[in-house]
Structure 1
Amino acid sequence: MTTKITALIVDDEPLARKGLSIRLQEFEHIELLGECQNGLEAVTLIPQLRPDLVFLDIQMPGLNGFQVINKLKELQQPVPLVVFVTAYDTYAIKAFDIHALDYVLKPIDEKRLATAIEKVTEVFKLNRQGDHKYKLAKLVAEFTGDDCEDILKRLASGEPIETQRYPNILAIKDGSEVTRVAVDEIQWIDAAGDYMCVHASDATHIMRRTMKELEEDLDPRKFVRAHRSAIVNIQFVNKMVSHISGEYHLVLTNGSELKVSRSHRDKVKEMIRI
């Protein structure tokens, strides 16, 4: 890559800054513009230097890494590509992984840094900065202010963080076409042989996936297994009816009825009460 990628290091630990700057010398296409020892300094220097990339420590006094990004947005300043630098273990950083371009753990591993640099380089080659900035905007929206500080404290104390993210869109492939179905519009899903019938508000879509795979992709706070071959979106359940035979059925808002099996009855009841 002939084009230089300009970079800035933001970290309140002098040894961490020095170690990273030394390692970055191994990458000829990365040009280090400078270092910042805290978030406030970064907010001042980033608009001046306009780096392409910032290695941003998450936890710093004054302004943490997320708040640095938020402050730049408030000041209507361009937000560069960001690779987070953190001392937190991998399980915790997964909470941010889908938003950041990448992250490296302290102490920095040379191979892990090389992987992060490779991702940065790919973004520049493919000109995908817009996609990264969208993810970063989502990150700022979710982890700023008191919420961010609370998350950092919980991570520091070793408390578990909710890391799983559920998609808002279900991509259903049919031959050469892919239909994007809003998950919130899905009323229920049932099995038909090797295929799944996804009943949305506007239409029924057919896809070749297993019930287990679909169940893992759907938010368990909204979707529940009614029986072995059906998953239902609780927000479309109008009522649960018991029959003389002892069977239970769910009546959906569109009038459809779904049988509830004995093994899933208690879970369904619990979800309906929520």
Structure 2
Amino acid sequence: MLVEYNYVIICSDRDFSLDLKFRLKKYEDLAFVSFAKDKTEGLFVILKHRPDIVFINLSKNAPEYFKMVVELRQYFHNLPIIIGISNDKQYVFKAIKNHFFDYWLLPYSEWDISKSLLHAKAQIPEKTEPKTLCLKSYRDFQYLNTDDILYLKSDNNTTCFTMKNSSEIIAYKTLKVFEKQLPEQFKRIHQSYILNTDCVSGINYGKNLCTIAFNNSQVPFSKSYIKNIDELKKKLAQSAIFANK
């Protein structure tokens, strides 16, 4: 799975912001979140979205943006990566003093941008996917460790979770909702099933069945999701020793 780094652009010149966004499109692991046109909007979008990288055009209103960065320290233990952009070196010292990660001079140098972003991403803590799924029903909250889920089965507008301890838990949401929320190892293999691929011990293409390691139960897969099954087969093959029966 491609790790994405979210970013916002703070600048009073919309054409400048759109041009920068266009230039950053070539970096597939950068995900645009929002524009902000001034200090107030900038503070709002940073607190709302918690981006990994913040680009600030210091050519106008630089003193206000430096105040914004000082204010951000009240809300962040570690500030996001902040990159200043300007027509000249007027604010370099102040940017360093305010812990800006880098300072880009206009016009852009694509090589300098690439190097700067590479170094910036190396400073961002590695992201981990959440391990706990919270099922909410009115005032009832149930927390599931996703590693303990074997598979999910759709039943009309409800979803049944089958767990490693053989228990079954019903949630009053559709399978499609959980497909978007679960970690990467959960794959849709059938209109009615999502499978924890870390728990698979066998694939039978002839019978369209996957075998679950913990209880030897079998879960069907359909041709419409065969791509996910093929990817699972490759994943299992990477750590397998092959022998004919």
TM-score scaled by length of structure 1 = 0.44
Higher helix share: 1
TM-score scaled by length of structure 2 = 0.48
